[in-house]
């Protein structure tokens, strides 16, 4: 089998959390373009359904929308059951849902800290375990977690200690699960994007003033685009990455190199 064939995802089934828009929407579309059937998982069901319809029309693949709070174990378990039931199985997933709250550490409330950790780390744990349990009993699979370059550096000027800590936890969780499941057919990897120009980021009143500063610090002089994360995720979801597990891929335009 040639490399082009290995990069195809024909016959595979997967889900993407936080997929109604932004990075998750982009990778979900890429998975479908590569031949997979995909579930768009998000809290915003209306937008998730719009995204599912758009991708289905574009690719001709089966694409469904599922409303799920990834911090709720019952909802996560039910979501995986629905993916398996409606798509016929589960071969990969991209656990991408996340939030950021910028607040000075000494002013951050316990509620703010807990919310970020609950979504970004506990939510990844719940989706990893629910997907992993199915994959361990059904011949294996691939799990992709969204970490961040913020797991490797401390971002400036915005104060975001909870976000940075949560994303560092995602990488260590990824490595731990990869080692535990390596001989059982389930691969677990993470991607660590730099600043990505999603619709939400580019239109956020609190972030717009920071973009020029970020770009001035970036070796490439710009933010990344959601579609620039697609190729690595398609690679990790499919057979071409059969020897890749426990890895974190930094896609940041060299931002963390200095």
Q: Is 163 an annotated catalytic residue?
A: yes
Which candidate in 142, 148, 190, 241 is catalytic? 148
Helix (H) or strand (E) holding 49: helix 45-59
Q: CA-CA distance, 214 to 197, in Å (whole number)?
A: 11
The phi-psi region of residue 195 (left if phi > 0; otherwise alpha if psi is between -120 and 50; otherwise beta) is beta
Residue appearing with tokens 């994360």: 229
Q: Which token pair is 207?
A: 């972030």
45 CB contacts (<8 Å, ≥6 apart)?
65, 66, 67
Structure tokens that stand for 38 in this block: 């995909």
State the Cα–Cα distance between residues 217 and 106, nearest whole angstrom.
Answer: 26
225 noted as active-site residue: no
Of the residues 163, 166, 190, 192, only one is catalytic, namely 163
**Among the options 25, 150, 167, 195, which is catalytic?**
167
Q: Measure the CA–CA gap between 151 and 162, rounded to whole angstroms.
A: 11
* Element spanning 75, H or E: helix 73-87
Alpha-helical regions (H) of 89-181 = 110-117, 123-136, 161-181
Residue 6 is among the residues annotated as catalytic for this protein = no
Active site residues: 148, 163, 167
């Amino acid at each position: 089998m040639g490399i082009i064939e290995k990069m195809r995802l024909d016959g595979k089934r997967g889900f993407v959390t936080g997929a109604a828009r932004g990075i998750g929407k982009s990778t979900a579309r890429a998975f479908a373009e590569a031949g997979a059937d995909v579930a768009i998982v998000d809290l915003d069901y209306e937008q998730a359904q719009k995204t599912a319809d758009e991708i289905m029309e574009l690719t001709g693949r089966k694409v469904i929308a599922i409303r799920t709070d990834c911090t709720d174990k019952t909802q996560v378990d039910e979501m995986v059951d629905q993916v398996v039931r409606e798509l016929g199985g589960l071969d990969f997933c991209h656990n991408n849902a996340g939030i950021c709250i910028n607040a000075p550490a000494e002013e951050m409330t316990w509620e703010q800290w807990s919310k970020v950790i609950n979504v970004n780390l506990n939510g990844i744990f719940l989706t990893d375990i629910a997907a992993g349990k199915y994959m361990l009993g059904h011949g294996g699979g691939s799990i992709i977690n969204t970490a961040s370059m913020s797991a490797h550096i401390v971002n400036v000027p915005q104060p975001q200690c909870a976000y940075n800590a949560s994303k560092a936890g995602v990488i260590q969780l990824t490595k731990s699960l990869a080692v535990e499941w390596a001989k059982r057919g389930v691969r677990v990897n993470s991607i660590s994007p730099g600043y990505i120009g999603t619709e939400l980021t580019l239109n956020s009143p609190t972030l717009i003033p920071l973009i020029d500063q970020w770009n001035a610090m970036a070796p490439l002089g710009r933010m990344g685009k959601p579609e620039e994360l697609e190729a690595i995720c398609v690679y990790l979801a499919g057979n071409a990455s059969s020897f890749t597990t426990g890895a974190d891929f930094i896609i940041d335009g060299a931002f963390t190199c200095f």
